[in-house]
């Protein structure tokens, strides 16, 4: 792209921002690949699979792999709706802006509150997922005996990750883009590379294994001992699909950094679709390799020992190499999520819709980044990290439900992060539906044309069903409790929404545009 092309594009973006009521403050330096990389790093197939593979396998058996294309197909419809909105409103804060312009400031504020809170909760939960792999490497290399479940260990490792991400997000969007670029390369090596390495050293299962359930739907043979009602289609599948529902989002973060992306109205919609499609392919290939590498003894040992048990046949240097790739992927993902969350906070503050908005909306004169909003992206996850101290050794009765024993509250936060994202997605697509019913005709460079309403309605139904599937409370003996911990996810969601509602009613942040 020539300098004159960049300049012309910048002028076009400036005029569009002015028409929407804003002036250019951030530095527009991100290319399509940078934008795609941030979205893909947030989606992060490696982080998702390495965190959730055993849950998917243990609740759905090998057949759970076929829920990947189902989730990706429906989420592609959501990405198409978001792409249309991103082309129409190429502004930082993405979902907040879409809700605000499509329905109204008050509606947009609720979307931004839920979405921003979920993003910052996700930072802490994603980074905490790296602890096991980092500690494994340290113990291997330095012959130490660190415990990855130790509170101090988790706090130190996650704290270092959050601080490093904050520094990189503060010193320029281009740096954030470079970290995300690295994440794409690492993800490619860590998904396709693992498949090739396992294939070279010999798969233990045939392709027929991919269509088996290994009888996980029956409690007597389920590796977790959970009750899936003896039926795969309406029992196990509805739970196992969550292992992929928890992975295939994050593509919308391409829109969060629109104001720092060159030719955003064209490149952001393309980046969203590309990140989701490539993430789906990479995830399917990785899961395929892991399943085919399952020992003849069956899935029970893999479910209990995790993915590293499948690397036993690989040379030590390859195992170490892939563990390093996993750690880098976790860091890249956490950095991308933190950057997206900071942009949402900045967008809300710019409209005067946050406490201390004048301070939060300040842009670094040197780096042209929302430095104070990034600081919030550091502090809030640090506060969430204190939840690592909540890990009861016995079940705790709270009102009418039970908080399960030996479930770290920091890890339980993952469920809120996902449910919060899905609720924000649902409200955003609902906003698009409402706008269409009111007569809105998209006029950006990317539109769905006559397919707009069918795609919007189908995406809305999918998000509603999946949100219920994620949040629906269940007995702790059921498979769903492996994801939502009974009532915990729903209760946390209710608390966050109630706090937001109280603040909105009392302070009316939607009326304080500056």
Q: Supply the pLDDT for residue 231.
A: 94
263 closest CA partner among 76, 433, 494, 33? 33
Contact yes or no for 253/337 (Cβ under 8 A): yes
Measured CA to CA, the distance from residue 240 to residue 219 in angstroms comes to 15
The one-character DSSP state at 233 is I
Give pLDDT tens digits for 185-219.
Answer: 999 999 999 999 999 999 999 999 999 999 999 99
Q: Supply the pLDDT for residue 9.
A: 55
Give pLDDT tens digits for 338-361.
Answer: 999 999 999 999 999 998 999 999
Q: Supply the pLDDT for residue 4.
A: 44
Average pLDDT over residues 178-184: 95
Residue numbers of the domain that contains 111: 3-387+395-511
Measured CA to CA, the distance from residue 103 to residue 108 in angstroms comes to 7
The one-character DSSP state at 109 is H
Give pLDDT tens digits for 265-293.
Answer: 999 999 999 999 999 999 999 999 999 99
Q: Supply the pLDDT for residue 5.
A: 46
Percent of the chain with pLDDT over 90: 72
Give pLDDT tens digits for 428-459.
Answer: 999 999 999 999 999 999 999 999 999 999 99
Token representation of residue 154: 């988790």
Measured CA to CA, the distance from residue 232 to residue 217 in angstroms comes to 5
Confidence of residue 11 (pLDDT cuts 50, 70, 90): low
The alpha carbon torsion through 377, 379, 385, 389 (nearest 10 deg) reads: -160
Measured CA to CA, the distance from residue 54 to residue 56 in angstroms comes to 5
Measured CA to CA, the distance from residue 84 to residue 444 in angstroms comes to 7
Contact yes or no for 238/16 (Cβ under 8 A): no
Q: Is the pLDDT of residue 1 over 70?
A: no
Q: What are phi and psi of 397, to 5 degrees?
A: -80, 125
CB atoms under 10 Å from CB of 231, counted, come to 12
Contact yes or no for 87/272 (Cβ under 8 A): no
Token representation of residue 173: 């969007």
Q: Is 92 exposed, middle or buried (0-12, 13-18, 19+ CB in 10 A)?
A: buried
Q: Supply the pLDDT for residue 2.
A: 47
Q: What are phi and psi of 402, to 5 degrees?
A: -120, 130
What pTM value is reported for the model? Answer: 0.94
Contact yes or no for 173/35 (Cβ under 8 A): no
What DSSP letter does each residue of 376-396 carry, written as one string? HHHHHHHHHHGGGG---SS-E
- Residue 472: give its domain's CATH number: 1.20.1740.10
Measured CA to CA, the distance from residue 323 to residue 306 in angstroms comes to 13
* Phi-psi map region of 127: left, alpha, beta (phi>0 left; psi -120 to 50 alpha): alpha
Contact yes or no for 112/357 (Cβ under 8 A): no
Write down the residue that tokens 């998702």 correspond to: 48
Q: Supply the pLDDT for residue 407.
A: 81
3-state secondary structure of 368: coil
Measured CA to CA, the distance from residue 434 to residue 283 in angstroms comes to 34
Mean pLDDT of the chain: 92
Q: Is the pLDDT of residue 6 over 60?
A: no
Residues listed for the chain: 514
Give pLDDT tens digits for 50-101.
Answer: 999 999 999 999 999 999 999 999 999 999 999 999 999 999 999 999 999 9
CA distances 97 to 113, 218, 385, 498, Å, are: 12, 46, 29, 22
Contact yes or no for 92/368 (Cβ under 8 A): no
Confidence of residue 405 (pLDDT cuts 50, 70, 90): confident
> Count of domains in the chain?
1
């Amino acid at each position: 792209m020539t300098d004159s092309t960049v300049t012309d594009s910048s002028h076009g973006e400036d005029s569009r921002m002015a028409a929407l009521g804003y002036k250019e403050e951030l530095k527009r330096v991100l290319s399509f690949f940078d934008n795609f990389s941030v979205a893909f790093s947030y989606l992060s197939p490696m982080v998702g699979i390495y965190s959730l593979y055993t849950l998917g396998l243990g609740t759905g058996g090998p057949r759970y792999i076929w829920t990947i294309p189902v989730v990706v197909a429906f989420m592609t419809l959501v990405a198409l709706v978001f792409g249309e909105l991103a082309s129409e409103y190429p502004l930082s804060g993405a979902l907040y802006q879409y809700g605000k312009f499509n329905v109204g400031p008050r509606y947009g504020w609720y979307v931004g509150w839920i979405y921003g809170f979920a993003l910052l909760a996700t930072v802490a939960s994603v980074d905490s997922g790296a602890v096991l792999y980092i500690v494994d490497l340290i113990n291997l290399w330095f012959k130490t005996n660190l415990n990855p479940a130790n509170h101090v260990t988790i706090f130190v490792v996650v704290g270092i990750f959050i601080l490093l991400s904050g520094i990189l997000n503060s010193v320029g969007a281009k740096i954030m883009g470079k970290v995300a670029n690295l994440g794409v390369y690492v993800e490619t090596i860590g998904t396709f590379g693992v498949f090739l390495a396992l294939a070279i050293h010999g798969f233990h299962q045939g392709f027929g294994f991919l269509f088996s359930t290994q009888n996980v739907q029956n409690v007597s043979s389920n590796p977790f001992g959970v009750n899936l009602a003896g039926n795969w289609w309406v029992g196990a599948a509805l739970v196992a699909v969550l292992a992929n529902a928890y992975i295939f989002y994050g593509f919308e973060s391409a829109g969060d950094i629109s104001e720092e992306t060159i030719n955003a109205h064209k490149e952001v919609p393309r980046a969203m679709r590309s990140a989701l499609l490539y993430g789906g392919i990479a995830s399917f290939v990785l899961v395929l390799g892991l399943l085919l590498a399952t020992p003849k003894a069956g899935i029970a040992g893999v479910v209990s020992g995790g993915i590293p048990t499948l690397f036993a046949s690989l040379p030590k240097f390859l195992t170490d190499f892939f563990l390093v790739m996993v750690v880098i992927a976790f860091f890249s993902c956490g950095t991308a999520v933190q950057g997206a969350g900071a942009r949402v906070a900045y967008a809300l503050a710019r409209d005067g819709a946050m406490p201390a908005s004048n301070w939060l909306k300040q842009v670094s004169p040197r780096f042209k980044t929302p430095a104070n909003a990034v600081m919030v992206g550091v502090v809030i996850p640090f506060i969430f990290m204190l939840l690592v101290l909540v890990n009861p050794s016995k079940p705790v009765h709270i009102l009418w439900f039970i908080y399960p024993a030996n479930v770290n509250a920091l890890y339980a936060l993952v469920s809120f992060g996902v449910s919060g994202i899905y609720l924000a997605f649902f409200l955003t697509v609902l906003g698009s539906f409402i706008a269409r019913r009111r007569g809105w005709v998209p006029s950006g460079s990317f539109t769905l044309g006559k397919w707009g309403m069918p795609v919007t309605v189908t995406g809305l139904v999918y998000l509603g069903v999946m949100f219920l599937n994620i949040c629906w409370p269940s007995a702790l003996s059921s498979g769903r409790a492996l994801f939502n911990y009974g009532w915990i996810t729903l209760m946390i969601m209710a608390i966050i929404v109630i706090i937001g509602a109280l603040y909105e009613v009392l302070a009316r942040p939607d009326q304080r545009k500056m």
